[in-house]
Structure 1
Amino acid sequence: MAYVDKTALVARIVSLSAERGYFVNRPPKFGKTVLLDTIATYFKGNREAFRGLAIYDMQMPWEEFPIIRFSMNDGKAELGKEIEEILASFYGVLRSSSSEGYVRFCYVTGNTKPVKSTLTSSLNDLSSIDGTSPELSTLCGFTRDEILSTFGPELSEFAKKVGKGEDEAMKDIEDNYSGYNWHLFGDKAGLVFNPYAILFVFKCMAICAYSVEEFLMPEWLRNLLKQYKSEIASIIGGSVRKYGRPQSIIELLQSPDLNSVRLIMWEYGLLTADFTSADNAGKCRFPNDKVSSVVWEVIQESLWLII
């Protein structure tokens, strides 16, 4: 069984200042839960669980801490405002507890990042891991180098199966599953692949298309794409700023516009961008061919309905 060792990056995260909370937002199936499990195992002081991995030989304080984990996966959309009010109070306690030294490490993750709203007035001190360093922005997902070093035998078998050289076969995989960029000015080495997709490719030994269902696209997002089907093309190639603090996703959906659609597509992994200028501006693009095909598939559903 192959394992992409991210524990050296985990060591960097858990060594960051305890006075501020941190968050990582990634689309579905990008390894967020596995990352949480890894961090929790470290804070249990269980060094033996990491034998053979990078963090095992690092000079780390292997102390055991009580671990509290909360999941909001069962929250219902129609209770959005009520949930925001509850979470605003909850995160306010977390923030004050962290600053007062009662919480060793506070980490928040999900499909979308916290943004300014009633809820996140209590989260203004959260720091994005992506803004910390280019390396930490690759914490979730596989880089090209990680695939080459970890899945060498699988890549060789895949290349033989499709009748291509390894470089050409890797290029096919890149075109279809790579291209996600979460760090400003990140170079090609910082682009990441969807890990679920890579594991699926090497299991099936084929380039497979996503279905909308496999992409875990919620119904409200599908409806939003259909509503703005005529404007989606204008988003691609358009300018976007990396760091902005708009309203919450709930508020964006109450009165959506083209900018709202762009933001939501970004948060759900349907868009990324290449940043090349000092003013944090970049050009929007689909991360890869497979994501592009999923978006157009959803839009075409509405076109068929019209016909």
Structure 2
Amino acid sequence: MTPRLYPLGIQTYSEIRERHLLYIDKTEYIYRMTHGNMKYVFLTRPRRFGKSLLASTLKCYFEGKKSLFEGLAIEKLETEWVQHPVLHFSLAGGKYMEKDALERYLDEMLKVEERKWGIENRIVDANNRLAHLIRTAYEKSGKKVVVIIDEYDAPLLDVVHEDLHLVQLRNTMRNFYSPLKDADPYLRFVFLTGITKFSQVSIFSELNNINNISMLPEYAGLCGITLDEIETQMQVDVEYLGKRLGKSYEETMEALRSNYDGYHFAWPSPDVFNPFSLLAALSNGNLDAYWFSTGTPTYLLEMMKKFNTQPSEIRLIEANKDEFDAPTENMTSLTPLLYQSGYLTIKNYNKDFDFYTLDIPNKEVRTGLTRALIPSYVSPNTIATTNTARRLAMCLVKDENMDEALRLLQDFLASVPYCNVKNHEGHYQQMLYVVFSLLTPYMVDVEVHTPHGRIDMMVMTHTRIFIIEFKLNRDAQTALHQINLKNYGKRFALSALPVTKVGVNFDSDKGNITDWVIE
């Protein structure tokens, strides 16, 4: 058995088809999207989820390149294959730019398209140039124009936490997009992709007929790779990976699901796998955090600071649609950005009371996000932190030795540089939450509700539950007394696992654990 060739990092549809690389057939979605009553279509998905490939596929389709679609669903659906002029703009390269640099970037993009249509006498302003370009393409071709704008929000994401800079760049982009409404008589189809949802007023102030398909169930599988697509189009690939891992097909699928599945962009929705990580795992023959290896966006960490979001808050959330599918610049919490960026996803929907349950999609996101938070919330020495977490896991899981685990933590915290934020229990709680969260697949939670109060931290392995109560500048016995007084252990009476109670005291002057009691 030989592996197929996977399109790792390739976002050009024609190259994938011409080189006979693996392509998961999304063309039925494309036909449905382009033959309904929608003319202006908007789609958000997390980074590395196939948005650019989808935009490239649409471009080839509207250019009438029928030969590139042989053997796919759309070959049987489409009968006309009309060639339209396509204006394809990608804003993906417009990151980390000041206003002047962004304007030069737009200028270069427009020049590329203008050269295709023989436009030499260029107008100065970007919006007027786009309007002229659309009209020229329409007049010279005799066909209505298709406009595809990929990663429309790329210039804005990295400054979303900077109010003044955001306003400047947002106005530049709004000016660029403004001709789309008046150009309506010349347009066949307009497609826009991005990661986040900026308000229509701020970006498309006059375009009031955009169809946002991001949360429509019929398009939930448009980007990413669904479980059904794996089982029907990729079984041989999973079998080959299983041979390399020494696992059966069923064991390999379970590992892939645990690491890369779990995304839902609507409800109901098929199970959606992260396509970048899945294909990388199949190609490399091992399971790794590929999505995070391409970098955690700076804007996420900056916005966590802006909204004072603690690591333990990035977990199970119940919210109405308007509370997470909301314009990014109008956020009152970090939830919309976490959802739209792919760090949280839909896990359930309560139809009776109209609310969604959101949670971290899978192991890759949980582990990768935790590691990304280490420098900001624990220590700049990420190697020491992950090594400590590994030793903690050995103590708690193999030996059930909490005493040795706390000694390891004490040694580790002694090496953490002094931090000014040491005057409240929550600082240490969040620090240890990040460390213990590295113990996946074992469960860690904070502020666990019970009938008589909230447990500071709970760690559950396959064989035992640890209830941990923190005190600051007091003593461990007081912490243990609170566990017993409020009968926290009763919360887990039906779990069938033995419970170990742990009282821990921190000294704010030393920035470390000073004593603990285990019962």
What TM-score bracket applies, with the shorter chain setting the length?
A: 0.7 to 0.9
Choose which of 42, 48, 54 in structure 1 pairs with 2:73.
54
RMSD in angstroms over aligned alpha carbons?
2.5
Written as runs of structure 1 = structure 2, the 5 A alignment for 1:83-122 is 83-98=169-184, 101-122=185-206
Amino acid at match of 2:193: T
SS in 2 for 1:12: helix
* CA 1:33–1:151: 2 relative to 1, 3 Å: same
- Does the 8 A contact of 1:141 with 1:195 survive in 2? yes
Alignment partner, residue 241 of structure 1: 320
The size of the alignment, in residue pairs, is 293
Please name the residue that 1:207 is paired with: 287
Q: Within the alignment, does 1:290 sit opposite 2:364 as a pair?
A: yes
1:174, distance to aligned residue in structure 2 (A): 0.5
- Structure 2 distance, partners of 1:103, 1:66, is 10
Q: TM-score, normalised by structure 1?
A: 0.86
Q: Secondary structure at the match of 1:236?
A: coil
Q: CA deviation at 1:228?
A: 6.4
Q: Distance in 2 between matches of 1:177 and 1:137?
A: 16
Matched, 1:304 2:383: no
Q: Structure 1: where are the runs of 5+ without partners?
A: none
Q: Find the counterpart in structure 2 of residue 181 from structure 1.
A: 264
Q: 1:135 to 1:230 in 2, by over 3 A?
A: closer
Q: Could you say if the C-alpha distance between residues 203 and 226 of structure 1 is closer, same or farther in structure 2, counting changes exceeding 3 Å?
A: farther
Q: What are the within-5 Å matches in structure 2 for residues 1-307 of structure 1?
A: 1-18=21-38, 20-73=39-92, 74-75=94-95, 76=97, 77=159, 79-98=165-184, 101-132=185-216, 134-186=217-269, 190-210=270-290, 212-214=292-294, 216-225=295-304, 231-243=310-322, 248-250=327-329, 252=331, 259=333, 261-278=334-351, 279-302=353-376, 303-305=378-380, 307=417
Cα distance, 1:117 vs structure 2:
4.2
Structure 1, 243-252 or 102-111: larger mean CA deviation: 243-252
Unaligned runs of 5+ in 2: 1-20, 98-158, 381-415, 418-519
Greater percentage in strand? 2
Percent identity, aligned pairs only, is: 26
Amino acid corresponding to residue 275 of structure 2 in structure 1: P
* Structure having the higher Rg: 2
1:243 is displaced (CA, Å) by: 4.1
SS at match of 1:108: strand
Counterpart of 1:202, as a letter, is L
Give distance in 2, aligned partners of 1:33 and 1:62: 22
Q: 1:97 to 1:60 in 2, by over 3 A?
A: farther
Q: Which residue of 1 aligns with 2:517?
A: none
Report deviation, 1:123: 4.2
Specify which structure has the bigger relative contact order, considering alpha-carbon pairs within 8 angstroms and separated by 6 or more residues.
Answer: 1
CA contact (8 A) 1:201 1:208 kept: yes
Q: For 1:64, what is the secondary structure of its paired residue? A: coil
- CA distance 1:247–1:148, shift in 2 (3 Å): closer
Q: Does structure 2 retain, via aligned residues, the 8 Å contact 1:184–1:280?
A: no
Counterpart of 1:208 in structure 2: which amino acid?
Answer: D
